[in-house]
Amino acid sequence: MVSFIHPAFHLFFLVSFVVKFGRGYLELVNPAWICLTGAMRILSGIQPSGALHLGNFFGMMKPAIELQDQGEALYFIANYHSMTSLFEADQRRRNTWDVALDLLACGFDPKKSILFRQSDVPEVCELAWILTTLTPMGLLERGTSYKDKIARGIAPNHGIFAYPVLMAADILIYDSNIVPVGRDQKQHVEMTRDIAIKFNEAYGDTFIVPEPKIKEETATVPGLDGQKMSKSYGNTIEIFGEEKALRKKIMGLVMDSRTPQEPKPDAEKNLAIQLLKLLADPATAKDYEDRLRAGGLGYGDLKKALFENYWNYFATARAKRADLAANSEHVEQVLKEGAAKARTLAKKVLTRARWACGLD
């Protein structure tokens, strides 16, 4: 048959077809193809180990929400990980649900990204075992999060020690390119890179080597005591909670003993100012900082302004969360659909890994 189409167009159509529909097939074969054919994959997780706070929000959630428009995003509730530190089943179930509501209320959008519970994709545990066989003990022994827990007197279980391997499996099983996290998780993503490289060297190119994505301005949000805000330090300001209790927490921020009239040349270091910069519009935050620096602004008034800005910042999310809480079937549906999509992706990569290392 005579073709009236120029040969160059055949090639163009073939490439377009592969770009549009081919990722599914090519993913099975080799990750190198994905760079040519796929959208950027973004992945992050958050543990259901307690109420989410401003550190979680500005360090991980807000950057992750912004990234939803820049690629194919997968976000999950890391309930397997929470098993290393939380030992009450009902509490885990409740926390998992609360995190789902928090994420959806804050702007994680199931139309733009895949939201799911980690344990709805059990394939990740098989990959974690495969990876653990290539993970040097020394690498895990150098883990700062592990060392920190030991230093705080927590009796280490094997899950705490192997935590970064499960995290590597989470990341690698979805061919993730970038992982938005706060600074404290940087080392875990670096360990993932080391493990992926080791596997690729041992068994041939199988995994994409991911990059951490850390927003410098909000990499470490300070807590009520000025240390990194963290559930485990008891210094958090929750995203959602009871107004009176939260007002009390913020009004209780400890300041120094300088009088209101004294100029404060170090105003930028003030904890309330640092938090206000996250929560207020830039002009308002600058105005308070300038007034504190010049002298004349009392700490009580500053903390009041911090509370008001904080409370307003999450007003829309708070209303949305109340609606979601009254519509649990919708939330369950979102998680189920997310899990089905995530599982399809995970199975492909696991098939590739099983083949590469000779299990199949």
Instruction: Retrieve residue 20's tokens.
Output: 């549009």
CB of 152 to ligand TRP, least distance (A): 15
Distance, CA of 126 to CA of 76 (rounded, Å): 18
Residue 44 is a binding residue for ligand TRP (CB under 6 A): yes
228 tagged catalytic: yes
Pairing of strands 178-180, 211-213: parallel
CA angle 79, 84, 90 (to 5 degrees): 55
Residue 223 is a binding residue for ligand TRP (CB under 6 A): no
Given ligand ADP, ligand TRP, none, residue 171, with its beta carbon under 5 to 8 Å by kind, binds ligand TRP
CA angle 102, 144, 133 (to 5 degrees): 95
Q: With contacts defined by CB under 6 A, name the span among 42-50, 195-203, 243-251, 326-334 that binds ligand TRP.
A: 42-50
304 tagged catalytic: no
231 tagged catalytic: yes
Nearer to ligand TRP, 76 or 288 (CB): 76
Within 8 A by CB and 6+ apart from 273, the residues are 267, 285, 288, 289, 292, 302
Within 8 A by CB and 6+ apart from 253, the residues are 224, 271, 272, 303, 306
Nearer to ligand ADP, 59 or 338 (CB): 59
Closest CA to 210 of 199, 229, 198, 197: 197
CB of 39 to ligand TRP, least distance (A): 18
What's the 3-state SS for 237-270? CECCCCHHHHHHHHHCCCCCCCCCCCCCCCHHHC
Residue 78 is a binding residue for ligand TRP (CB under 6 A): yes
Given ligand ADP, ligand TRP, none, residue 350, with its beta carbon under 5 to 8 Å by kind, binds none
Residue 167 is a binding residue for ligand TRP (CB under 6 A): yes
Q: How far is CA 45 from CA 96, 166, 258, 347, in A?
A: 12, 12, 42, 19
Which residues contact ligand ADP (rule: CB under 6 A)?
46-47, 49, 55-56, 59-60, 181-182, 184-185, 218-221, 228-232
Nearer to ligand TRP, 231 or 303 (CB): 231
Q: Please pick, among 62, 111, 147, 149, the residue that the annotation labels catalytic.
A: 149
Given ligand ADP, ligand TRP, none, residue 179, with its beta carbon under 5 to 8 Å by kind, binds ligand TRP
Q: How far is CA 77 from CA 44, 97, 118, 239, 272, in A?
A: 9, 9, 6, 17, 30
Residue 65 is a binding residue for ligand TRP (CB under 6 A): no
Residue 47 is a binding residue for ligand TRP (CB under 6 A): yes
Tell me the catalytic residues: 149, 228, 231
By the criterion CB under 6 A, which residues form the site for ligand TRP? 43-47, 78, 81, 167, 170-171, 179, 181, 185, 188
